């Protein structure tokens, strides 16, 4: 009987703790977001009320060796702030109730990373135009593939039958 009482008390306490915490969400007002263009971020609770005075931190290219970070801002009374993304790609927005400690690269310190944030959410930041390096790489790849295709078709359809015909002419006639 005591085991059941302990289990019920544990479940009720867990339920009361989880019921007291409201979930947050981060929205970009003028989505989709482009790099080098000012974006308006809005932090809201589940019931739609704005989350005022929370700190936002961006981590570009999360979980990679080239990740970069920056402190975005502290939200105002309406739960909004403006931000200009510096890089295109994946960015993870972290919401904290305090100003996070950062390294020189803008990434959170190890001690700060151990703290549990109020909320994290990942967004995709688009390029504001076609990247020149991507177009150049596409042209090089297409040229390489097409030249290999032309060479193999020429070899298959023109040179190989010609070699076979010349080899048949050079063979001695059957006796």
Question: Residue 76: is its pLDDT beyond 90?
Answer: yes
State how far the Cα of 91 lies from the Cα of 35, in Å rounded to an integer: 11
Question: Residue 1: is its pLDDT beyond 70?
Answer: no
Report pTM.
Answer: 0.62
- The domain spans of the chain are 22-125, 130-170
Q: What is the pLDDT of residue 147?
A: 96
Q: What is the pLDDT of residue 142?
A: 97
Which range (18-27, 58-67, 138-147) has the least confidence? 18-27
The reply to whether CATH 3.10.450 applies to domain 22-125 is no
State how far the Cα of 57 lies from the Cα of 20, in Å rounded to an integer: 25
State how far the Cα of 3 lies from the Cα of 127, in Å rounded to an integer: 58
Q: How confident is the model at residue 10 (pLDDT cuts 50, 70, 90)?
A: low
């Amino acid at each position: 009987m005591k085991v059941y009482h302990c289990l019920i008390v544990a479940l009720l306490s867990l339920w009361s703790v989880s019921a007291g915490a409201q979930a947050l969400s981060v929205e970009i007002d003028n989505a989709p977001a482009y790099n080098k263009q000012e974006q308006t971020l809005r932090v809201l609770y589940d019931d739609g009320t704005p989350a005022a005075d929370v700190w936002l931190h961006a981590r570009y290219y999360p979980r990679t060796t080239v990740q970069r970070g920056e402190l975005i801002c502290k939200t105002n009374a309406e739960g909004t702030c403006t931000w200009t993304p510096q890089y295109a790609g994946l960015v993870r927005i972290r919401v904290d109730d305090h100003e996070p400690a950062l390294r020189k690269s803008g990434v959170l310190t190890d001690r700060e990373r151990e703290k549990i944030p109020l909320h994290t959410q990942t967004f995709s930041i688009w390029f504001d135009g076609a990247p020149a390096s991507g177009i150049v790489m596409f042209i090089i790849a297409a040229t390489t593939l097409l030249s290999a295709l032309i060479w193999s078709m020429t070899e298959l359809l023109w040179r190989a039958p010609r070699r076979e015909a010349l080899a048949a002419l050079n063979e001695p006639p059957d006796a």
